[in-house]
Amino acid sequence: MATFSSGGGEKNEATERHAHVVGWGMAVPESALTNEELSTFVETSDEWIFARTGIRQRYIADEGESTATLAYKAAQQALEIADILPTDLDLIVVATSTPENIFPSTASLVQDWLNAHDAGAFDLSAACSGFVYALNMAADSIRAGSIQSALVIGAETMSRILDWQDRSTCILFGDGAGAVVLQASEVPGGVLSSVLRSDGAGSDLLGIPSVGSIDADDSRASSNGAKLYKMYMAGSEVFRFATRVISESIEQTCTAAGIQVNDIDLVIPHQANLRILQAAARKLGLDADKFMSNVERYGNTSAASIPIALCEAIEQKRVQDKDHIALVGFGGGLAWAAMLIRWGVPEPSEQQGSMFNRQRRHVQYRIAKWRSRSRRWRRRVNRKVREIRV
């Protein structure tokens, strides 16, 4: 079992750099698929799905929507709220299990579309824990002083890797994206502590076999019987694992930050199943109301579920200044991760003017399209010229 943890929020706060969430945004596809609609082509029912999971509907990407387009929309919203320019970003990380390509990364596409030309970009694969892993990596880079601001996105089109014949998985998942902007500040607070964990011995319980798989030349199935590019899951075992690690990792991240579990104002967990969240709340001795849940409307959107739930919690005014917010993700790997944040969005700097910046952002998005097209075009012309010369 590999372990990694960081934390200890309160020491020398005044002299330290802190990583604060200063912007947030989310996007889901246009079309929702209800349990009733699902039960017209899968042998299931609204009663079964709702009773076992708390899910009523999920959003499904249409032909024109993808992991990158959803990520881009969520990112634009987050930049709007942060009121910074894409060119101010130093880093873009997209946590996803359904990337546009193995490479180039979805993050690189988003970087190009935003015109974030000074940002490094990469995808992070840690399944449903991916967003917390990515946020931790970005926060650590900010606190270490190597970057000033980062865009962290969780984005998925789970509908594209579901086996629609398998009723034990296809009823659970949906598509969507959520994003946050993280920024350096001297104001104490922001990300206080994180706990990242992995247990690869559970890799056969949940996964998507892909091109690097031992059985990749066999288009039907991989060695544990799962189909290539299709999700498999041993539901009840993952359920037991999830309830255990949620409480364990939240306790660990509280200890690392020097606070009590009872000091948590809101838990924003990965939205896998309402029953899992209720069981975890009981284990922690917390009121179930302290667990944010919107699984009813979105299903399980994997790495996107935590940032989407965070956006809705903010919208519902469930997140207040100085609140202690716990994020917790769990899933394929097996991997899990928890993070404690002391909420507090620092005042924007004086040179930022919302209207002016909004227009500058829109100009940059337009420039991004032309810049990208003209670069491709120039490369093609240069290639042709070289061919003619030879």
Nearer to ligand UT7, 131 or 343 (CB): 131
**Cα–Cα distance between 367 and 215 in angstroms, integer?**
44
Q: How far is the CB of 124 from ligand UT7 (least distance, A)?
A: 16
Of 36 and 263, nearer to ligand UT7 (C-beta) is 36
Regarding beta strands 91-95 and 149-157, do their DSSP bridges make them parallel or antiparallel, or are they unpaired?
Answer: parallel
The span from the CA of 324 to the CA of 320, in Å, is: 9
Q: How far is the CB of 233 from ligand UT7 (least distance, A)?
A: 6
User: Cβ atoms within 10 A of the Cβ of 296, count?
Assistant: 15
Q: Known catalytic residue: 300?
A: yes
Compute the least distance from the CB of residue 166 to ligand UT7, in Å. 9
Q: Give the interface with ligand UT7 as residue ranges (CB under 6 A).
A: 44, 48, 52-53, 128, 167-168, 171, 235-236, 238-239, 242, 272-273, 276, 300, 302, 331
Secondary structure of residue 149 in the 3-state scheme: strand
Our CB check for ligand UT7 shows the closer of 128 and 286 to be 128
Nearer to ligand UT7, 236 or 349 (CB): 236
Q: Are 72 and 110 in contact (CB under 8 A)?
A: yes
Residue nearer to ligand UT7 on the CB measure, 142 or 334: 334
Q: Which one of 270, 273, 311, 357 is the catalytic residue?
A: 270
Shortest Å distance, C-beta 336 to ligand UT7: 10
Burial of 356 from C-beta contacts in 10 A (0-12 / 13-18 / 19+): exposed
Instruction: State the minimum distance, in angstroms, from the CB of residue 276 to ligand UT7.
Output: 6
Give the integer Cα–Cα distance in Å for 178 and 357.
22
Looking at the Cβ atoms of 164 and 370, the one nearer to ligand UT7 is 164
Cis ω on the peptide bond leading into residue 334 (within 30° of 0)?
Answer: yes
Question: What's the min distance (Å) between Cβ of 375 and ligand UT7?
Answer: 38
- Check: CB of residue 73 under 8 Å from CB of residue 177: yes
Active site residue 311: no
User: 35, 273, 294, 300: which one is catalytic?
Assistant: 300
For 192-204, letters b (16+ CB in 10 Å) and e give bbbbbbbbeebee
The one catalytic residue among 20, 115, 128, 294: 128
State yes or no: is 18 an active-site residue.
no
Instruction: Give the H or E element holding residue 134.
Output: helix 130-144
Cα separation, 229 vs 207, whole angstroms: 9
- Identity (one letter) of the amino acid at 230? K
Question: What is the C-alpha separation between 186 and 176, in angstroms, rounded?
Answer: 33
Which residue in the shown chain puts its C-beta closest to ligand UT7?
A: 235
> Which residues does the annotation mark as catalytic?
128, 270, 300
